[in-house]
């Protein structure tokens, strides 16, 4: 109740109450729709395999079961090793990647940078054209030795041209050019300007790119599939995708593998197990979300204008 009163006081500088209600309904409604499939995932993960077998994926399984979670916890050390790997790779990868991204994007943002056009094109071109999987794989593995080590999970994803261009655009919208000029006149060094002046006022953009980078690393399994053979380097997402890939392959080829395929398929983790792994993967990253969100949704409501 009191909250509404406070709102009323500030109403002048804000959208009208009916408009706000409509906004809340629209955005809130969409947000609810977005979470629905994840709830579905949770339901499947608690469904018994028997129920999935009989009535398929359903919001109301015939029978609930915690077998999938039991199985995941019984995996023992591999689960925690993979958790650690995902955490480690995501953190280290994001830190390095973000630093490289900001440095590059800042140079591109500087209109007085002599080679600005060249370097913009240089990074943009790779967004479209690449040599394909086999040549990249050979370079990574044979030239750079990315094989069965953490570097193999980090290095190939360090640069994302899209993020660099987005970061440059963020800088363009949030940093007034006069600021650079002023800093330059003050005789501030380039690195000094970037770290002391630019970064603090570009937090929303940086946090956004950081978030997207973290997610990229956290969700990645393809690099693990290509470069990792030792289970001690498996990230969490790869545990899930391995099970998924195995199932897909056996399903697709069951007629050629023959009778055995059915049996092999049955030995694999079932759907409820895979869905419980999805839960294990999504929950930590969702928990990390608010950390980045702080900078993205800032106090741009009326309070900041008033203050």
Positions in 136-155 near other proteins (CB under 8 A): 136-144, 155
61 is an interface residue for other proteins by CB under 8 A = no
| Residues whose CB is less than 8 angstroms from the CB of residue 17 and which lie 6 or more positions away in sequence, other chains included | 7, 8, 11
Which residue, 92 or 225, has its beta carbon nearer to other proteins?
225
- CB of residue 66 to other proteins, shortest distance in Å: 20
Q: Please report, as residue ranges, which positions from 82 to 111 form the binding site for other proteins (by CB under 8 A).
A: 99-101, 103-104, 106-108, 110
Instruction: Name the segment binding other proteins (CB under 8 A); options: 49-57, 64-72, 83-91.
Output: 49-57
286 is an interface residue for other proteins by CB under 8 A = yes
What the block records as the tokens of 108 is 């591109």
- CB of residue 134 to other proteins, shortest distance in Å: 5
Which residue, 1 or 128, has its beta carbon nearer to other proteins?
128
64 is an interface residue for other proteins by CB under 8 A = no
Alpha carbon 161 to its chain centroid, in Å, reads: 16
Tell me which residue has tokens 């007034």.
176
> How far apart, in Å, do the first and last CA atoms of the chain sit?
24
**How far are the Cα atoms of 151, 201, 245 from residue 248, in angstroms, in the given order?**
29, 47, 5
Task: Report the DSSP beta bridge partners of residue 62.
Answer: none
Dump the DSSP string for 110-142: -TT-TTHHHHHHHHHHHHH----HHHHHHIIII
- CB of residue 289 to other proteins, shortest distance in Å: 5
Q: Please report, as residue ranges, which positions from 214 to 253 form the binding site for other proteins (by CB under 8 A).
A: 215, 219, 225-226, 229, 231, 242, 244-253
Which residue, 91 or 219, has its beta carbon nearer to other proteins?
219
173 is an interface residue for other proteins by CB under 8 A = yes
d(CA 9, CA 5): 6
- Count of positions on this chain that bind other proteins (CB under 8 A): 147
13 is an interface residue for other proteins by CB under 8 A = yes
Phi, psi of 299 (to 5 degrees): -80, 55
Q: Please report, as residue ranges, which positions from 263 to 282 form the binding site for other proteins (by CB under 8 A).
A: 264-267, 271, 275, 278, 281-282
Confirm if 148 and 233 have CB atoms less than 8 A apart.
yes
């Amino acid at each position: 109740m009191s909250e509404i009163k406070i709102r009323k006081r500030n109403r002048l500088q804000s959208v009208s109450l009916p408009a706000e209600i409509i906004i809340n309904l629209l955005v809130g409604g969409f947000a609810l729709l977005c979470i629905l499939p994840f709830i579905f995932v949770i339901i499947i993960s608690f469904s018994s395999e028997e129920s999935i077998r009989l009535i398929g994926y359903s919001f109301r399984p015939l029978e609930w079961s915690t077998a999938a979670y039991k199985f995941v916890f019984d995996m023992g050390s591999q689960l925690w090793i993979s958790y650690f790997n995902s955490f480690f790779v995501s953190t280290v990868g994001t830190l390095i990647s973000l630093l490289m991204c900001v440095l590059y994007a800042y140079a591109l943002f500087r209109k007085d940078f002599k080679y600005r056009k060249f370097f913009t094109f240089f990074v943009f071109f790779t967004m479209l054209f690449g040599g394909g999987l086999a040549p990249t794989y050979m370079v990574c593995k044979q030239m750079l030795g990315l094989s069965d080590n953490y570097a193999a999970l980090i290095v190939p994803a360090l640069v994302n041209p899209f993020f660099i261009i987005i970061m440059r655009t963020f800088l363009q919208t949030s940093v007034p050019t006069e600021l650079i000029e002023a800093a330059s006149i003050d005789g501030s060094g380039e690195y000094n300007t970037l770290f002391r002046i630019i970064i603090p006022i570009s937090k929303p953009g940086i946090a956004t790119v950081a978030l997207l980078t973290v997610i990229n690393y956290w969700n990645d399994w393809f690099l693990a599939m290509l470069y990792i053979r030792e289970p001690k380097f498996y990230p969490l997402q790869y545990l899930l995708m391995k099970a998924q890939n195995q199932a897909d392959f056996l399903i697709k080829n069951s007629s050629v593998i023959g009778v055995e395929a059915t049996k092999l398929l049955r030995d694999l983790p079932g759907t409820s197990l895979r869905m419980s792994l999805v839960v294990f993967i999504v929950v930590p990253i969702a928990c990390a979300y608010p950390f980045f969100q702080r900078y993205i949704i800032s106090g741009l409501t009326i309070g900041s204008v008033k203050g």
